[in-house]
Chains A and B, each alone.
Chain A
Amino acid sequence: MNASAIMSMLLAAPSSGNQGFDLGRMMAIIIAAIFVNNFVLSRFLGICPFIGVSKQLDSAIGMGAAVIFVMTLATLGSWSVYNLLLVPMNLGYLKTIVFILIIASLVQLVEMILQKFSPSLYRALGIFLPLITTNCAILGVAVLNIDEKYSLGYSLVNAIAAGIGFTLALILMAGLRQRLELADVPPALRGKPMAFLIAGVMSIAFLGFAGLGG
């Protein structure tokens, strides 16, 4: 396979040769991933960290930034390996195992590199990195990109937007939880049940975005 062929593959969607860059479609992907089909509130991806790291606003912001960062890198890696290696070798069925390996080692490498070379960035982002391995939003976006047959460009856009959507939900959640910490919540609902109830309310509100960009 020569270089130009690889380039054309990267830039175009895998199954059709002539899909160019389309601003409208990109907007649709972005709006869908952030609002309409928000990863957390409508697709149920990344619930564990969403519930776990939303107690403090500062952690939520850090986690969100880390997720966006890793999501982008993981998508880049997984998309390339899938379309440049697995598909030509007819090994599509290995995608799950390959993706998770890529994500796990990527996260660990990034964490170690940050810790070594940029302690300040590590303190801001790095401490959230381990949690990301088991964040199904990362693997989810990688798999979804393949399922939707997005080109690399769209895949990256989708990944970043999904990360932003995750972050948005996380930050809103953190704000609400901090407010409710001072509220007179019935004892039975304190803690995790409350977190899920807030998520439910947020999810209802996000239904308002339905149909947007469609």
Chain B
Amino acid sequence: MSLMKDLTNGIYKENPVFKLALGMCPFLAVTTSVENALGMGAAATFVLIASNFLVSLFRNLIPSKVRIPCYIVIIATFVTLVDMVMHAYLPALHKSLGIFIPLIVVNCIILGRAEGFANRHPVLNSVADGIGMGIGFTMAMVVLATFRELLGNGTWLNMDVLGSAFQNQPLLIAILAPGAFILLSFIMGFFKILETRKGGCQ
């Protein structure tokens, strides 16, 4: 039961992006297409699960004074692994995610969960939390990427959706930097409205 709770926690209740506003840099940067969002989400989820697992496993062995550097090393290792594997097997995705793969290291979500959750929970719960948070992060990215790709390019996951008339004059700003900020702002606002509505009914 508690496992299930840890798993679902990150998906909506403590969604790292919309609720906690963590991990914003990659979130905004790579959501130009759904494909990128999925790739980034997968990479971050992997790192999240793996680092949560390891941190939880060794949580009693690592002295607290050097815990942060240790966690950073663990996370950085997994990030580098992802970087190398992606470069070797998915070169196109690697290229489009670019600098933001190494920057997963400094994604607050990962270090945050390592410190804030895995550090004081058993392995299984930590992994569940990692999966939940990862899914939450990925879902949030897919939501924003959907808007940006649809509006800015007329496609979804590289599939034509809105037709060529739109594609000739898409709302380019959606895939530019300002579009990311503004759409995110409105999505967060929307979530806020949802929340107050729900609160009002209770």
The answer to whether A binds B is: yes
A138 to B196, CA, bound (A): 37
Contact A101 B103 (CB under 8 A): no
Contact A188 B193 (CB under 8 A): yes
A104 to B68, CA, bound (A): 9
Contact B72 A199 (CB under 8 A): no
13 A-B pairs within 8 Å (CB atoms) are namely A93-B84, A95-B102, A101-B72, A101-B73, A104-B68, A133-B68, A139-B103, A188-B196, A193-B188, A194-B185, A196-B181, A203-B177, A207-B176
B119 CB → nearest A CB, Å: 16
Partner of B69, one of A93, A99, A104, A196: A104
What is the 8 Å Cβ interface bit string for chain A, positions 128-145, against chain B (1 contact, 0 not)?
A: 000001111011100110
A28 to B99, CA, bound (A): 21
Residues of B participating in the A interface, judged by any CB pair closer than 8 Å: 21-26, 28-29, 68-69, 72-73, 76-77, 79-80, 83-84, 99, 102-103, 105-108, 111, 173, 176-182, 184-186, 188-190, 192-193, 196
A96 to B25, CA, bound (A): 17
Contact A97 B77 (CB under 8 A): yes
Contact A187 B196 (CB under 8 A): yes
Q: Does A113 contact B (CB under 8 A)?
A: no
Contact B21 A192 (CB under 8 A): yes
* Inter-chain pairs besides A48-B22, A189-B185, 20 sampled, C-beta below 8 Å: A43-B29, A43-B177, A44-B24, A44-B28, A93-B80, A96-B105, A97-B73, A99-B102, A100-B105, A134-B108, A138-B106, A139-B102, A139-B105, A187-B192, A194-B185, A195-B185, A196-B188, A200-B181, A201-B178, A207-B178
Contact B25 A44 (CB under 8 A): yes
Q: Which residue of B lies closest to A50 (CB)?
A: B24
Q: Which residue of B lies closest to A38 (CB)?
A: B177
A100 to B21, CA, bound (A): 22
Residues of A participating in the B interface, judged by any CB pair closer than 8 Å: 41-48, 51, 93-97, 99-101, 104-105, 133-136, 138-140, 143-144, 147, 186-189, 192-197, 199-201, 203-204, 207
Contact A196 B185 (CB under 8 A): yes
Contacts of A135 in B (CB 8 A): 106
Partner of B99, one of A93, A140, A187, A196: A140
Contact B103 A143 (CB under 8 A): yes
B152 CB → nearest A CB, Å: 14
Contacts of A133 in B (CB 8 A): 68, 106
Contacts of B106 in A (CB 8 A): 100, 133-136, 138-139
Q: Which residue of B lies closest to A95 (CB)?
A: B102
Contact B181 A197 (CB under 8 A): yes
Contact B177 A41 (CB under 8 A): yes
Contacts of B84 in A (CB 8 A): 93
Partner of A44, one of B68, B80, B180, B196: B180
A187 to B79, CA, bound (A): 39
A33 to B110, CA, bound (A): 28
Partner of A193, one of B25, B68, B69, B185: B185
Contacts of A187 in B (CB 8 A): 192, 196
